[in-house]
């Protein structure tokens, strides 16, 4: 993949916690407009990697370049303003707000955040609010949550909360959406719906996805490219068909073993 085609470039990321080396040199690129999976056994460093890329944690070495900008070590709110949004393994809704209100607070840099504009340019504020409301209702309809728009978010089922979190992320108009185990703990029917939403967003809005996922059937069906991690570093990239033929990947992930990469790091 040419560097010009990459929306995210990660190079030699390293991060330790005491004597535990969580990242030992992760390096990979994510192509613009793709759905890319990040897989690996438990303890491979996937969640630490996502935290570093999204700005929740600073690396001790290495670099993260997003959409041509070096965002290494930048705080998460700054990273989000640049268009890199992440979701979490456990859905994080605002439980005491309605489903619609959850979406209305999601757009970045709203005019209503500035008191001066609200007081002295109310027409601009109202026009923006109307635009956000129209988009929020459209997104809720797309995600099958329109009938729940006035319900409190805490009343939703686990699967509906997962849909709400993805809908909230869409409201922020991300360039790259990082999904941390989006299919975990939900029923097969909802897995199909989530997959359809993700692929539709890629086609309709050009959103790029980096998805941490353990369900290899989902990965094979959805993803253009797959990145395999083991003991803190990138082990291999390719399609699932290609990776199944890679003996290191088979050892590190598909059979639960670990390749001898610790000595290399």
- Tell me, rounded to whole angstroms, the distance of Cα 230 from its chain centroid: 20
Query: Residues, the chain, total?
Result: 265
Domain-embedded: residue 162? no
Q: Which of 155, 182, 207 is the last residue of a domain?
A: 155
The pLDDT tens digits for 52-72 are: 999 999 999 999 999 999 999
**CB-based contacts of 258-262 (< 8 A; 24+ apart in sequence):** 258/41, 258/230, 258/231, 259/230, 259/231, 259/235, 261/24, 261/230, 261/231, 261/233, 261/235, 262/24, 262/231
What DSSP character marks residue 148? G
Is residue 262 very low, low, confident or very high in pLDDT (cuts 50, 70, 90)? very low
Domain-embedded: residue 160? no
Q: Which of 107, 124, 155 is the last residue of a domain?
A: 155
Residues 117 and 218 in one domain: no
Residues 151 and 259 in one domain: no
The pLDDT tens digits for 191-236 are: 998 899 999 999 998 999 999 998 888 999 999 999 999 989 999 9
Number of domains in the chain: 2
Residues 208 and 231 in one domain: yes
pLDDT exceeds 90 at position 99 = yes
Closest CA to 177 of 204, 198, 203, 153: 198
Lowest mean pLDDT among 25-34, 87-96, 193-202: 87-96
Sort 150 into a burial class: Cβ within 10 Å, 0-12 / 13-18 / 19+: exposed
Sign of CA dihedral 61, 67, 70, 72: negative
Residues 81 and 113 in one domain: no
Closest CA to 173 of 145, 135, 225: 135
SS3 244: coil
What DSSP character marks residue 181? S
How confident is the prediction for the chain on average, in pLDDT? 86
Domain-embedded: residue 194? yes
Domain-embedded: residue 102? yes
Residues 110 and 203 in one domain: no
Domain-embedded: residue 216? yes
Residues 178 and 85 in one domain: yes
For residue 240, list its beta bridge partners: none
pLDDT exceeds 90 at position 244 = no
Domain-embedded: residue 165? no
- What pLDDT score does 259 carry? 43
Mean pLDDT value across residues 130-157: 93
Q: How far apart are CA 3 and CA 67, in angstroms?
A: 11
Q: Are 73 and 59 in contact (CB under 8 A)?
A: yes
Domain-embedded: residue 14? yes
Residues 15 and 128 in one domain: no
CA neighbours closer than 13 Å in the CB half-sphere of residue 116 = 0
Residues 194 and 235 in one domain: yes
Domain that holds residue 252: 3-91+172-264
Q: Are 49 and 26 in contact (CB under 8 A)?
A: yes
Q: What percent of the chain is predicted at pLDDT more than 70?
A: 86
pLDDT exceeds 90 at position 83 = yes
Residues 55 and 86 in one domain: yes
Residues 187 and 256 in one domain: yes
Sign of CA dihedral 241, 10, 182, 167: negative
Q: Which of 130, 155, 180 is the last residue of a domain?
A: 155
Residues 178 and 60 in one domain: yes
The pLDDT tens digits for 102-124 are: 999 878 655 555 555 556 565 66
The pLDDT tens digits for 157-184 are: 988 998 999 999 889 899 999 999 888 8
Q: What percent of the chain is predicted at pLDDT more than 90?
A: 58
Helices (H) and strands (E) in the chain, counts: 10, 10
């Amino acid at each position: 993949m040419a560097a010009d085609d990459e929306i995210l470039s990660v190079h030699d990321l390293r991060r330790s916690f005491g004597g535990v080396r969580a990242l030992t040199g992760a390096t990979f690129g994510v192509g613009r407009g793709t759905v890319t999976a990040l897989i690996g056994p438990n303890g491979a460093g996937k969640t630490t990697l996502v935290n570093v890329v999204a700005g929740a944690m600073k690396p001790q070495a290495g670099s993260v370049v997003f959409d041509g900008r070096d965002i290494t070590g930048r705080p998460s709110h700054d990273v989000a303003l640049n268009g890199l949004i992440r979701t979490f393994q456990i859905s994080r809704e605002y439980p005491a707000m309605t489903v619609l209100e959850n979406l209305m607070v999601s757009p970045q840099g709203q005019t209503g955040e500035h008191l001066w504009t609200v007081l002295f340019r109310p027409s601009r504020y109202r026009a923006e609010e109307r635009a956000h409301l129209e988009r929020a209702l459209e997104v809720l309809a797309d995600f099958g949550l329109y009938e729940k728009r006035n319900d409190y978010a805490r009343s939703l089922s686990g699967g509906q909360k997962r849909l709400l979190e993805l809908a909230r992320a869409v409201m922020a108009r991300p360039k790259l959406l990082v999904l941390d185990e989006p299919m975990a703990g939900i029923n097969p029917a909802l897995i199909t719906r989530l997959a359809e939403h993700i692929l539709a967003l890629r086609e309709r809005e050009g959103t790029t996805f980096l998805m941490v996922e353990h369900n290899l059937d989902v990965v094979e069906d959805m993803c253009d490219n797959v990145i395999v991690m083991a003991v803190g570093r990138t082990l291999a990239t390719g399609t699932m068909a290609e990776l199944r033929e890679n003996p290191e990947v088979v050892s590190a992930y598909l059979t639960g073993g670990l390749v001898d990469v610790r000595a290399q790091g």
